[in-house]
Amino acid sequence: MPVSNSPDMPWLQKAWQTLQQRLDEGTLPHALLVIAEAGVGKRSWADHAAHMLVCSQSPAPCGQCRQCRLVAGGSHPDIRTYGPENRSRVVRVSQIRELIGFAMTSPQVSRRKVAIIDRADQLNPSAANALLKTLEEPPEDLVLILLQESGRPILPTIRSRCQVMTLPPPVGDQALGWLLEAAKGLDQVDEALCRTALHLAGGAPGLALEYLQTDLVAGRDRALDHFRKYLKAQMTVNQAARPFRELGLEQALRLLEGWAADLARVGAGGMAYDTSAADVLGYLAGRNPAWRAHELLAAIRESRAALTNNVNADLEIQRLLIGWQGLMPRRSGPKMAGQGAAH
């Protein structure tokens, strides 16, 4: 039984069992590409998997052996993680060179080495190319775990060299149950707030926890308030962009994406997931053809792709907000039915 730092994410249990099984059968691939939605627990899965892979007992992790004690102490020398550092949005080639160096040396205390790339969809092009060489001829004692967020592209040449594993999102009350437990130590967090956070996070518990920790729920309220004022032309786009900027481009994109998806939903006769924005989205949906929502979604995808190229976050947010403004009826346009009939 997993004892030390056993992650309590019941929806990931099966994927860990699969890994354990491959480990027991000796059919473990050298490179795993693990795909999941944001906030489902990719990193927890990978950390736990790395722990399983270095433990010297079976079923792993035993929680007793030297390897397990090193992992519990946070200093296992045969596990390395590479991800965007120092406010960078990309995994750099220098990091991949470091990974290659790590891959070439013998394990220090375990049977194998584990390198996690969190995340493979943020590798910059030269980093991706450098990684390819290692993927082509991986050392026997190395397991590479690449994490990819669903919908974020990675090079097909990388993907084709990995065994792909998709982590399922939580079902039923699993997410809320986990979030209530994980948010226990946080100030002024109750079940209602947890539900709101989950809702904003599209049901992804890890993301919802991040929202609670970073006060994103309040940040979202500020952003929505500015968004409304901007649409009503009570604010400049620069002013409106401020609370979005404070959220960070990644979160701002998620928020705008959620609203655009809601707009499409409402336009098709459905309900907005983000109930507090439902009025403004309902208003816009009633005045625009359905393709406008898809146009907004496409613009967000473009901004997301640009994220890996160190774009100017402020300009991206303003560009997207201007796109939304384009959905408002023209101020001088036919507000009353009579005017429209004039020609």
- The answer to the question of residue 322 lying near Zn ion (CB under 5 A) is no
How far from each other are the two terminal CA atoms of the chain, in whole angstroms? 77
Of the two residues 56 and 129, which places its CB atom closer to Zn ion in the complex? 56
- The answer to the question of residue 103 lying near Zn ion (CB under 5 A) is no
Of the two residues 36 and 68, which places its CB atom closer to Zn ion in the complex? 68
Of the two residues 79 and 241, which places its CB atom closer to Zn ion in the complex? 79
Of the two residues 67 and 122, which places its CB atom closer to Zn ion in the complex? 67
Of the two residues 55 and 123, which places its CB atom closer to Zn ion in the complex? 55
- Which one of 32-40, 55-63, 103-111, 160-168 is the stretch in contact with Zn ion (CB under 5 A)? 55-63
Answer for which of 12, 35, 55, 175 binds Zn ion (CB under 5 A) is 55
Closest CA to 165 of 82, 45, 315: 45
Query: What's the sign of the alpha-carbon dihedral 337, 338, 341, 343?
Result: negative
Of the two residues 113 and 220, which places its CB atom closer to Zn ion in the complex? 113
- Which one of 47-55, 92-100, 102-110, 129-137 is the stretch in contact with Zn ion (CB under 5 A)? 47-55
- Cβ of residue 56: shortest distance to Zn ion, in angstroms? 6
- The answer to the question of residue 307 lying near Zn ion (CB under 5 A) is no
String of contacts with Zn ion for each residue 56-95, x by CB under 5 A: -x---xx--x--x---------------------------
- The answer to the question of residue 253 lying near Zn ion (CB under 5 A) is no
Binding-site size for Zn ion (CB under 5 A) equals 6
- Cβ of residue 54: shortest distance to Zn ion, in angstroms? 8
Q: Compute the residue count for the chain.
A: 343
- The answer to the question of residue 49 lying near Zn ion (CB under 5 A) is no
Of the two residues 1 and 342, which places its CB atom closer to Zn ion in the complex? 1
- The answer to the question of residue 327 lying near Zn ion (CB under 5 A) is no
Amino acid sitting at position 66:
R
Interacting residue ranges for Zn ion, rule: CB under 5 A: 55, 57, 61-62, 65, 68
